[in-house]
């Protein structure tokens, strides 16, 4: 699966959309295996780029999800509470995790080509 070119990517495998939506990459969900639970941040929470703000649990492990930008959490994907498998099925669309009102992007965000070069 190719990574959408309109997104920005963190080396910790999160993506950031222009509207502030955040999710994990296809590579990340593939490494995690079947996602069974997602712990989302509280709406209204102020976050700093690089801060652990969510947790994705799979049959293999639990993994922290880091904010790729600083700002305020303005929405979470409530569909994941009953259907965490959407992270596996549609990591770039239905499986988004939360949305940030971005005040400042994190350092080191990459375009799709750079992310793919780093992660094979």
pTM: 0.95
Of the pLDDT bands very low, low, confident and very high (cuts 50, 70, 90), residue 2 is confident
pLDDT tens for residues 22-57?
999 999 999 999 999 999 999 999 999 999 999 999
Q: What is the CATH number of the domain that holds 30?
A: 2.40.50.100
| Residue 11: Cβ within 10 Å count | 14
Residue 1 falls within a domain, yes or no? no
Q: Is the pLDDT of residue 80 over 90?
A: yes
- Write down the pLDDT at residue 50: 96
Structural domain for 67, as ranges: 8-118
Give me 109's structure tokens.
């965000």
Distant-in-sequence, close-in-space partners of 107: CB < 8 Å, separation ≥ 6: 49
User: In angstroms, rounded to a whole number, what is the distance separating the alpha carbons of residues 41 and 55?
Assistant: 9
Residue 114 falls within a domain, yes or no? yes
Sheet holding 14-16, edge to edge: 8-9, 14-16, 21-24, 98-105, 69-76, 46-47
């Amino acid at each position: 699966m190719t990574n959408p070119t309109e997104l920005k990517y963190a080396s910790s495998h999160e993506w950031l959309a222009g509207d502030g939506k955040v999710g994990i990459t296809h590579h990340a969900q593939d490494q995690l295996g079947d996602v069974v639970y997602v712990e989302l941040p509280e709406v209204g929470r102020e976050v700093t780029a690089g801060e652990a703000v969510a947790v994705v649990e799979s049959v293999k492990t639990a993994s922290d999800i880091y904010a790729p930008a600083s700002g305020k959490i303005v929405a979470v994907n409530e569909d994941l509470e009953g259907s965490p498998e959407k992270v596996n099925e549609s990591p770039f669309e239905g499986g988004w995790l939360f949305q940030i009102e971005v005040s400042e992007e994190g350092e080191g965000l990459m375009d799709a080509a750079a992310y793919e070069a780093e992660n094979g």
